[in-house]
């Protein structure tokens, strides 16, 4: 029993603060029982003093009365919030009053048995001390040290009486009283264990409920608001705001590349850094939430659209600051879409508009900010419809590959054809590639479309005579897919086309990021034996480094440089520089967009190896290629390089195919 007492005593001193506070509040919870106990103590002490006049009994009764009144007064002063701030102080006050009251009640019983032989008063005081001991232990079960101390102080003096005044009745009462004390100690300890477990369980549930509530509203990685609480906070902000509310929807540019090349741990560190940088919006009354992945949403009150755009530009600058993680500098950029509330805006509408504006910002490139306007939503709906139709276009045989010849400018013979995808929509008619190709790249349908174009082109090229090649454009999106070389290899095997007859055209912008996946894919494509062409050359930012880093076979000069080449010195300078560079690197130069004899004459003079454009022929369906080839060599034989340079060929009959 004593072992259990000391064990529970240890547990009691190590209770969590929340549990201790709850137990102290429980001590002060029942005012009625304390008032009844105090009134009973006053009445008993007065009656014993009347029937057993003694200075000791008078003094003891006075102490009981004073202690009872002070305890009632302390209960009146206690407020539930007092325990939170001064738990120890109120605990000591209660304990002092309880110990004192129990001590004086026990002493009154002891003095009554020792000083007087009045059986009536002895019975009253014994009954009082026993009842108080039982009541105190029951009431204070949550504090076993306090309960057992009151029990011993109140009841034990009765068992000491036989030592001073031995008699058979006092000995009998002493033994029974000791048994009573033992039973109450056992009951108190057992009850306390049950009460303590219940208190701890309740507090733990409350703590876990608080934790779960916090987690349900907080992003675990960054510590800011999460997606689930975003709308609730936005509704509240709209309701309470006295000005307009702006939604700034941020999406990091090329974040997948950071994860793939530097690891997810670095990506997580970047997200934490971005959330910290966005936290400056708190100072302006805004809130920040992580919508998911690498997307963040800032909501804040603004005066007008100009302030919202200025704030977005400020965030773009803050985000662009490089981040150093594990001695690695990570460059970050982001795009932001903005929507602003009006008198009847709701949260759903604001978020949808910001998402639409973000879509436009991402389409505009990196570090872009776009403010929503209704025209954006109309374009988005159209694009979404095109996206849905694209997924059914192949299955419905709406796609067709056309082929435009590439002419050797040395001997004016057909060197190859470029495969150009055409889409005839059953309702909208012909959809331009400039519209549906970007949509297919964004909707992940570019992969199946490219596989289909590759197979169609390779199978058609197998029907062409000699070593005529076919060139297929490869989207920048697919260049990061390491399965692309397998797809190309499988297509060549199934079609039977030799790899040297397949040219794969890569846009220069696909190489700007210097992605290791892109380097791997290009290297594997070269190992297969295909030729690589750098398309739209001169429109990027680091063209020379691309030529040094990757093994290209052909450079295609973008058609924009041939427009008004006769009057634009800048275009002539680019064509001259590219032709000279290609000659030094032993690369083939193809001039795109030749539409006039003057353009043809200029590119031939500059040493371009091949040409392509309406001057020779428009893109034609597969069924027209063989008929075209049957007459093309005869028509193109009218031209010679020297005659073109001299301008004499202009008087000859031009290839009729270009007018077809």
Residue pair 523/506 in contact (Cβ under 8 Å)? The answer is no
What's the confidence (pLDDT) of residue 196? 67
**Residue showing tokens 């876990």:** 208
pLDDT band at residue 13 under the 50/70/90 scheme: very low
Report the percentage of the chain scoring pLDDT > 70.
Answer: 82
Nearest to 143 by CA among 29, 257, 278: 29
**Token pair of 470 as six digits:** 């076919």
| Banded pLDDT at 538 (limits 50, 70, 90) | low
The closest alpha carbon to 412, from 574, 138, 634, 152, belongs to 634
* 629 neighbors 623 (Cβ within 8 angstroms): no
pLDDT above 90 as % of the chain = 19
Q: Which is nearest to 598 in space by CA: 620, 588, 583, 613?
A: 613
Identify which of 68-77, 91-100, 447-456 has the greatest average pLDDT: 447-456
Q: How far is CA 248 from the centre of its chain?
A: 16
The residue ranking higher by pLDDT, 635 or 525, is 525
pLDDT in tens, 113-165: 888 877 788 788 777 777 777 777 766 666 777 777 777 788 788 778 888 88
pLDDT band at 653; cut points 50, 70, 90:
very low
The pairing of strands 429-431 and 469-474 is unpaired
State how far the Cα of 358 lies from the Cα of 366, in Å rounded to an integer. Answer: 11
Question: Maximum Cα–Cα distance for the chain, whole Å?
Answer: 151
Distance CA 46, CA 4 (A): 39
Count the helix, strand and coil residues of the chain and give each as a percent rounded to the nearest 5: 65, 15, 20
pLDDT band at 542 (very low <50, low <70, confident <90, very high): very low
Give me the DSSP letters along 7-53. HHHHHHHT--HHHHHHHHHHHTS-HHHHHHHHHHHHHHHHHHHHHS-
pLDDT at 29 over 70: no
Q: What is the DSSP letter of 655?
A: P
Residue 657: the pLDDT is 43
Residue ranges per structural domain of the chain: 2-212, 227-372, 400-632
pLDDT at 30: 63
N-term to C-term CA, the chain: 109
pLDDT at position 489: 95
Pick from 337, 332, 330, 335: nearest CA to 308: 337
**What is residue 12's predicted lDDT score, i.e. its pLDDT?**
47
Give helix 168-217 / helix 119-139 axis angle, nearest 10°.
Answer: 20
Q: What are 260-288's pLDDT values in tens digits?
A: 778 888 888 888 888 888 888 888 888 88
**Across residues 543-571, what is the average pLDDT?**
72
Nearest Cα to Cα of residue 469 among 513, 525, 408: 408
User: How many Cβ atoms from other residues are within 10 Å of residue 405's Cβ?
Assistant: 27
* 615 DSSP 8-state letter: T
104-124: pLDDT as tens digits: 787 877 888 888 877 788 788
The whole-number pLDDT of residue 31 equals 64
Give the DSSP letter string of 155-202: HHHHHHHHHHS--HHHHHHHHHHHHHHHHHHHHHHHHHHHHHHHHHHH
pTM above 0.75, yes or no: no
Tokens standing for residue 404: 């435009």
According to the model, what pLDDT value does residue 456 have?
Answer: 96
Q: Which of the residue ranges 176-180, 585-589, 649-653 would you say has the lowest mean pLDDT?
A: 649-653
DSSP secondary structure of 472-535: EEE-TTGGG-TTHHHHHHHHHHHH---GGGEEEEEEGGGGTT--HHHHHHHHHHHHHT-EEEEE
Helix (H, G, I), strand (E, B) or coil at 298: strand
The better pLDDT of the pair 27, 55 is held by 55
Pick the CATH number of 227-372 from 3.30.70.270, 3.40.50.800, 3.40.50.2300, 3.10.50.40: 3.30.70.270
Q: Which has more pLDDT, 660 or 85?
A: 85
Give the lowest-confidence range in 351-360, 391-400, 466-475, 637-646: 637-646
* More confident: 363 or 200: 363
More reliable by pLDDT, 204 or 503:
503
What pLDDT does 548 receive?
A: 60
The mean pLDDT value of the chain amounts to: 80
Q: Which residue has the higher pLDDT, 333 or 484?
A: 484
Confidence of residue 69 (pLDDT cuts 50, 70, 90): confident
- Third-level CATH fold of 400-632: TIM Barrel (3.20.20)
The torsion angle over the Cα atoms of residues 207, 209, 214 and 217, rounded to 10 degrees, is 180
pLDDT in tens, 572-630: 777 877 777 777 777 888 988 888 888 888 888 888 889 999 999 999 999 999 999 98
At residue 146, the pLDDT reads 73
Tens digits of per-residue pLDDT, 475-503? 888 888 889 999 999 999 999 999 999 99
User: Which structure tokens are listed for 566?
Assistant: 């006769």
pLDDT band of 337, cuts 50, 70, 90: very high
pLDDT recorded at residue 14: 44
pLDDT digits (tens, 9 = 90+) for 214-258: 666 788 888 888 888 888 888 887 777 777 889 999 998 878 778
CA-to-CA distance for 571 and 556, rounded, in angstroms? 14
Start-end of H helices in 279-371: 305-319, 347-363
For 654, which DSSP code? Answer: P
pLDDT of the residue at 644: 76
Distance between CA atoms of 274 and 294, rounded to whole angstroms? 9
Contact 151, 136 (CB under 8 A): yes
The residue written with tokens 């709701």 in the block is 346
In the three-class reduction of DSSP (H, G, I as helix; E, B as strand; rest coil), residue 612 is classed as strand
What is the per-residue pLDDT for 154? 81
């Amino acid at each position: 029993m004593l072992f259990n007492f000391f064990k529970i005593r240890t547990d009691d001193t190590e209770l969590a603060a929340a549990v201790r506070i709850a137990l102290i509040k429980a001590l002060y919870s029942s005012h009625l029982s304390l008032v009844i106990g105090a009134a009973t103590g006053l009445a008993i002490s007065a009656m014993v003093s009347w029937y057993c006049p003694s200075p000791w009994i008078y003094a003891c009764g006075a102490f009981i009365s004073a202690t009872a009144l002070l305890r009632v007064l302390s209960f009146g002063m206690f407020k539930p919030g007092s325990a939170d701030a001064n738990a120890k102080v109120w605990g000591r006050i209660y304990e002092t009053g309880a110990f004192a009251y129990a001590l004086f009640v026990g002493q009154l019983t002891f003095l009554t048995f020792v000083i007087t032989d009045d059986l009536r008063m002895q019975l009253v005081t014994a009954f009082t001390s026993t009842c108080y001991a039982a009541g105190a232990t029951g009431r204070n079960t949550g504090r076993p040290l306090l309960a057992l101390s009151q029990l011993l102080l109140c009841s034990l003096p009765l068992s000491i009486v036989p030592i001073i005044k031995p008699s058979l009745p006092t000995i009998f009462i002493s033994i029974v009283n000791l048994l009573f004390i033992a039973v109450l100690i056992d009951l108190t300890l057992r009850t306390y264990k049950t009460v303590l477990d219940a208190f701890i369980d309740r507090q733990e549930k409350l703590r876990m409920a608080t934790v779960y509530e916090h987690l349900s509203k907080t992003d675990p990685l960054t510590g800011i608001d999460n997606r689930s609480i975003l709308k609730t906070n936005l509704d509240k902000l709209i309701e309470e705001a006295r000005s307009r509310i702006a939604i700034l929807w941020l999406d990091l540019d090329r974040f997948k590349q950071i994860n793939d090349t530097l690891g997810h741990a670095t990506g997580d560190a970047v997200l934490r850094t971005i959330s910290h940088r966005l936290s400056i919006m708190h100072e302006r009354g805004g809130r920040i939430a992580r919508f998911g992945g690498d997307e963040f949403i800032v909501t804040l009150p603004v005066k007008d659209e100009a302030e919202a755009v200025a704030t977005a530009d400020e965030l773009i600058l803050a985000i662009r600051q490089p981040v150093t993680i594990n001695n690695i500098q990570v460059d970050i950029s982001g795009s932001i879409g903005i929507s602003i509330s009006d008198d009847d805006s709701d949260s759903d509408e604001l978020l949808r508009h910001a998402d639409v504006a973000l879509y436009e910002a991402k389409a505009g490139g990196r570090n872009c900010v776009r403010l929503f306007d209704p025209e954006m939503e109309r374009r988005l709906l159209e694009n979404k419809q095109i996206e849905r139709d694209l997924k059914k276009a192949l299955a419905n045989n709406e796609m067709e590959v056309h082929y435009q010849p590439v002419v050797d400018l040395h001997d004016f013979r057909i060197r190859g054809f470029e495969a150009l995808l055409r889409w005839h929509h059953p309702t909208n008619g012909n959809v331009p590639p400039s519209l549906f190709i970007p949509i297919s790249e964004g909707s992940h349908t570019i992969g199946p479309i490219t596989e289909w174009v590759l197979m169609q082109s390779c199978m058609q090229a197998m029907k062409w005579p000699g070593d005529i090649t076919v060139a297929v454009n490869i989207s920048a999106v697919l260049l990061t897919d390491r399965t692309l070389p397998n797809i190309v290899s499988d297509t060549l095997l199934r079609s039977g086309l030799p790899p040297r007859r397949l040219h794969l055209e890569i846009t220069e912008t696909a190489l700007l990021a210097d992605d290791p996946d892109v380097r791997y894919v290009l290297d594997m494509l070269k190992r297969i034996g295909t030729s690589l062409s750098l398309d739209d050359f001169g429109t990027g930012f680091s063209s020379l480094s691309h030529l040094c880093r990757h093994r290209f076979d052909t450079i295609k000069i973008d058609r924009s440089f041939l427009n008004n080449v006769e009057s634009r010195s800048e275009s002539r300078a680019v064509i001259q520089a590219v032709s000279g560079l290609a000659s030094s690197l032993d690369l083939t130069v193809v001039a795109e967009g030749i539409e006039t004899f003057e353009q043809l004459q200029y590119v031939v003079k500059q040493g371009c190896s091949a040409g392509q454009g309406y001057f020779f022929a428009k893109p034609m369906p597969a069924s027209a290629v063989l008929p075209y080839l049957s007459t093309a060599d005869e028509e193109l034989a009218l031209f010679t390089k020297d005659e073109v340079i001299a301008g004499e060929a202009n008087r000859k009959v031009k290839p009729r195919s270009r007018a077809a």
